[in-house]
Amino acid sequence: MLTQTYKTVLRTLVSVLEEATPEPTDWALIGSGSLQLQGLNTEYDTIEFMTTDKIVTTIGKMLGEEPVQITSAVVSGTRLRLTREDIPIFVIGDPVFQGIEEKLSPVQIPSLWNALNHGSLDGHRIPCTPPEWELVLAVILQADDRAEEIQQYLSEFGYDSRLLVRILREGHATTQTENMVWSLLEERI
């Protein structure tokens, strides 16, 4: 369950993103916040969004903050890092997520953006990455606990197998990653 403080900060940031973006599908809430808004009770401590470099720069100007280029073990892109009410916030533009054997660039996966879910926050609709994407990402990043949480949720509530195929193919996932994703989902059926 999201705290009231988390909800307030999230609502404020969503307003900024909506003002900075021409289309409602130019950004999405990702990670644990996205999963929480879609009904998966997972641990959270950050607010994370992904969008384009241009939008990150626009948001930085709106908030008087300077985005930076980052390259870490798991992600690279243009990142705006903020803290509000002691909650770390990351807005990353054109992210590239790096696993051991492959990279995923979500901005280059059209089916992901076409399949954004809308989580509800006190009646306000927020574009969220689908759990299918979060599962693929957890597998690639070897976040086993997160992958298991998502797998259990998808096994209980169902998943879109066609979306998974499109994300894996458009993202150029390796055969090993594809096999790992499908074996996780088939475990509980």
CATH number of the CATH domain containing 66:
3.30.460.40
In angstroms, the CA 160 to CA 53 distance is 29
- What is the reported pTM? 0.92
3-state secondary structure (DSSP) of residue 92: strand
Domain count, the chain: 1
CA distance 168 to 45: 28
Compute the Cα dihedral for 163, 159, 144, 9 and give only its sign.
positive
- Per the structure, the complete domain to which residue 29 belongs is given by 4-187
Note whether 105 and 167 are within 8 A (CB): no
**Which of left, alpha, beta for 75 (phi over 0: left; psi -120 to 50: alpha)?**
beta
pLDDT by 10s per residue, the chain, length 189: 788 899 899 999 998 998 888 776 789 999 999 999 998 888 778 999 999 999 999 999 999 999 999 999 899 999 999 999 999 999 999 999 998 889 999 999 999 999 999 988 888 889 999 999 999 999 999 999 999 999 999 999 999 999 999 999 999 999 999 999 999 998 764
**In whole angstroms, what is the distance from residue 93 CA to residue 115 CA?**
19
